[in-house]
Each structure stands twice: as structure tokens, then as C-alpha cells.
Structure 1
Amino acid sequence: MVDEEEVILKLLMFGFTKYEAKVYYALLKHGSLTSTELLKIARIPQARLYDVIERLVSKGLVKVSRSRPAKYSIINPELALKSYIEQEMVAKAKIAEDIVRSVERSGEVVEDSYIWTVSGVHSITVVIRDLVESAEDELLIATYTHLMEKMMKSLEGVKDKEISTCVILYDKDGKIAENLAFFDEVRFKPTLGPTIILKDLLKGLLIPRSYRQRPVAYIIEDLEILSPIINYFFYLKETSSPIIYRLGEDVRRRRFRSLIRAIEMIQRMQENGIEVGVEIEGRWRTSGEPGKIVGKPINAIRDRYREITSLIVEQNGSRILVGGRGATYEDFEALRITVYPLNPTADQPG
């Protein structure tokens, strides 16, 4: 059975407002509905219904009948919703197309503020290597096996670092698990998606699916543009199946930029009976001053509707509510999280 909360959460991740998500879910579950039926099922204010419908229609997701009373229904979600998500994910990145429309010669890089565009296989390979090798805390990748194999040489240096890693594969072969055994997390999501590489949640590479003879990649350092791409990566992660998961098992010390992934490791270590410590660098939300928290994680809180994940940390007898990047409700905004065992002998399993 479809879980309403989970569906609405995922719609929120892709730019739906709460009311848009509730209306879309109601139509997805119940089919064609009148405005009266929608108000009853979706439980939204009457004054908001028509502008919500208008926005969903403009996104190409909902259609309106000419009958009286009018009925609303979704356009085939296999096509319309998937198309909308892909457009939402890459729309901002494609701003760079206008900047470099006339420059697609191999080896040339065009820079404008926080967006670069690179064309040509060799240039893209160089950029990938630089991105991977310069990661300090967290490296997230979504791609295809044949591209992953080309990255392997650059990725070998990850073995000797404490950075956390996650790879999502859109396809797989029999040898891939063996080749990627040194990654913290490897997952499988059978889909036709863009290649995404995220370094420390601060810089990203996006290679859209394309039929061009000369491939183009977007290097993104603008956090506003990067944000929907990060959201899409975590949507892929939530809807994928695990192949390898080592965090909290044979890997017991890691650095993160993503609070959600840090919490996953903390919870796995606690399940394994390991006492966990955290060191969190960031800033106090009220004053904006930089700070550091060193303590023991007590509990995690997940508000799915508001897309908020928080961690309660005890430091010197006081409890502090820690949020991820962009935190607005918590005491402290986490920008870098280190997870480690409090018992040094538990640093490695044995």
C-alpha cells in the first residue's frame, strides 16, 4: 500500500508546496475528482484550492475536464511526473547553456560566477578527477557502471581517507560489488538518470543524459542551483536498494557534510552496541557565530512534512538540538560532522 506521508515527502523534495503535494496525492490515489471531493480528501483550505490546481496544471501534471462540475485528474505520472522531476533537477544547471552556447570545443572551460561548463571527454575526465581527489569530508556519486569504471583510478585515494562515500548505480554487473568494496555505501537504482558527483555538498558535477556527439558537464558551486540536485540524489538514495553498507559495521569513524547520513551511521553503531561520540562544526543559529560541539548523540528527530532532520547531542550535561545545513528551528547548524566510537578499541571491529 502506498504510504501518503512518504509520497508527500518525496513531492516536497522536488519543489511541490505542501498543498500541491496533498492535492496531487489525492488525485493519484482516487482518480478524477471534483473540487468538493478534493477539498474533502486533500484537506486543504477552500481559498487555496484553485491556485493550487492552476499551478499543477501549469507544471503539466494535472488536467481539467470541461464538464460541469469540472473534474480534475492527473496526467499519466509515468510520463508527466518523471518529466517534471527531471526538468526541475536540471533546469537551473542549464542556465550555463546560454553562457557557453558558442563554446563547445574540447578542452575549453568557461567560467561565470559559480557555474562552469566543460565539454569533451578529456576535459570532463580531468574535472571528475579533480573533484574526487579534492573531497575532504563526503563524496556522493550517482552514475552508470561503465562511467564508474573509468573513475576507479581517481577513486583509489578515497581508501586512505576518513571521508564518507556513497555510490548509486543506475545499472550493475556481476563484478561491480567486488570493484567497489572499499566504498562505505553502494546502492542500486534502475533508472535512466544524469551522472551526479557531489563534493562536500558544496560543489557538484552534473552530466545530463544527452545524445550529443560531444558530452557537456556542468560544474556547480552555487548552493541555490546545487540544492535541487542534492535533493534528487537523496531521493535516489531513499528509493534505491543496498548492495554494500559498511558504516557502523567495519567502518567506525567518518566525516560527513550530510546530517542524515551521519545519523544513519550513528544509529547503526548504536544497534551494534558501540558507544558513539560526535564532533560537529558549524554555527549557532541565533547569533550566527561559528562553533563546535563535542558530545554524545542522544536521539534523532525526523519531521517528514517539513523536511527536517535533527540530532540531539549532549555536551557537558546540556542538550543541544542540531540541524543540518540551512537549519532554522534548531540551536545549531551542522556544517561538518565527525562520527567516532568513544571506546578507542572499538575503532575497528574485532
Structure 2
Amino acid sequence: MSNSAQHDAEIGDTTTALTERLTALPDAADGDGRLTELATEVAALPDRLGDDADAGVCEGVLDLLSRTAMRLSRAGDAQESIDLVGRALTLSERVLGPDHVATLTARNNVAGAHEAAGDPEAAVPLYEAALADYERVLGADHADTQILRGNLAGAYQQTGRPDDAIPLLEAVVAEREKVHPEDHLDVLTSRNNLAYAYRSAGRAEDAIPLYEAVLAGCERVLGNDHPNTLSSRNNLAAAYEAADRLDDAIPLHEGTVAGAERVFGADHPDTLAFRYALASAYAAAGRFDDAVTAYEATVAGCERILEPGHPNTLIARNDLARALGAAGRTDEAFPVAEAVVADSEKELGPEHPVTGAARETLGALAQQTRE
């Protein structure tokens, strides 16, 4: 065995040992320094590989770098995660070449690390460049290209650019419909993503038939009470609301809440979110007493699992005060609104948007009383 081959074999053995350590590392290690210590060892591997390193050994190091970066991202160490995927990209370009599939994957991972770090603005140009490479090397219709196209569309949406996301998602839907049956989960997912982009762009009428098809498919494939079916039902209800079809939206919201209570329980975060959406729909339809009842149940659940001063709890309490006022029950609304203002100022500060909204509610109730 040549010295170069022996060196690569040693790195391969080290990579295997580090991979086993990462796999065995408990979640508790994320906060006690063990993950950071392991990540430091992993980060040193690329510098030990020469330009003529064995491709299999290089790909093993790339996989370890990616897995470690994902673990760091989940642990909240965004910068270290970005550093590792950057090292992976540099290594792959140097050893495997700029157009190797592993290099394309590394480019996608760099963009994804920035997005996961809460910086979609930085991710967008990285995804755009990666997509151009995927289309050139793999072709526009390749499955991996479709995934990258969806990733870029998601970043566009996060940066408030649904109009830029829509053509990408339309292409993904068209390609997946060509290769999969109508109820395939990839088709349902891509249609759901496109529908969301339409709704975000103010095109609720275009979103509705897609959401209807997704819900029907989920009911057939997954069943009425599957979590994805519940989410699809909620999405369709929201699109109906956006299109001013409250009579169609409310029964769907009611069915979603009932299903979530069966599947998750009354105080599950998803159940609370669905019930909050139902309460808002009741309020939009002028059914204020029904809205009050739904908001009261939402507030009670939020206080049990989130505490009274949590932003989501404060928002629900503020909306309860507004619904009470709209129902003509100002004597009940005032103490709720006053408490929300006090708790918002204490927990979030006087300049927080939730605090500002609470003050507006209190002011509107005062005006309503004077009138």
C-alpha cells in the first residue's frame, strides 16, 4: 500500500470512528460541550485530505461533515453549522470537482444552513446559483433539481417573494404529476406548496382548487384524522376565508378542531392553533358569541401549556377582549383588555407589537363605551 493510500485509509478509519461517536452522542451532549468538541475534530478532517485523495474516503468525510452540521443546527449553533458545510463544499470542489454530484449537494447544504440559521436573504442567491448548476449538470427535470427548485421557492416565500416562488413551484407540480399518480405524497406536497404560494400572493381563488385536491387526496390516502389531513383541511378553510367564503370555511374549521381534539388532545399546540383559527373565522362572520367561546377555550389551553405571559397567550387574550367588545359585552371585555396591556408591558415591554395591539383594543373599548 502506498503512503498516500495508507494515509487515506487512516482518515477513513478516523471518519468511521467519529461517525460512530456522533451517532451515539445523546441529545444532552448538545449543551455540555461534547458536541462542540466532536465538531472540532470533524472540522479538522478536510485539511488532512490531499487533492488526489480517494473519492470514497472524501465522500465519507463529506457525509460526516453534513451530519455534524445538521446536529449543530438542531442544537442552535448556526454559525458552526455554516462553517462545517462551507468546509464540505471547499473539500468537494477541490477533490471531486465543481460538477460532482456531492459538490452540488454541498452547495445546496450551504444555502440550507443559512436558511436554517434564520437568514433566508443570504440563502436565496446561494440557492439560485446551486439551481443553475443542478440544471446544467443534472438537467431541468432531474428529481434532485426539482428538490432544489422547491428549496429556492421556499426561501423566496420566506423573504416575501411569493410571485418569484410560484413559477418554480408550478414547474415542480407539473414534473411530479408526470411521474407520479395523483395521490402520491410528493404530488400532494408539491400542490400544497404551490397553493400556499398562491394564497401568499393574494391569489386565493387559484389556491382553492389545489387545496381541495390536496385535501381529497389526503383523505383517501391518509384518512380523515391524519395530522397531514387536518393541516390540509385547515389550509383550505383559510383559503376560503381569504376568498370571503366564510360559510364554506367555518364547517371545515369546526371539523379540523374536532379531529385535532380526537388525535392530539384539547391542549396540543396544533389543536390550540386550529381552535384559534375557528374563533377568528367566527369573529369575521359576525358570530361573536361563538367567537368568545372559542377564544376562551384557546386562552385556557394556552395558559395551561404556555403560561399567561407567553406572546401567543397574550394575542389570544387580546382577541378575546375584542370579541367580547364586539358582542356588546364591554363590562367583561374591559378587565380582560386591561390585564393584557399590563401583562404585555411586563413580559414583552412597552414597545412590543403585541403590547401596541393590546393598547389599541383597550382604546377601542373605551371609545365604544363613550359612544
Q: TM-score, normalized by length of structure 2? A: 0.26
If asked which structure has higher relative contact order (CA below 8 Å, sep 6+), I would say 1
Q: Which has the larger radius of gyration?
A: 2
- Structure with the higher fraction of residues in helix conformation: 2
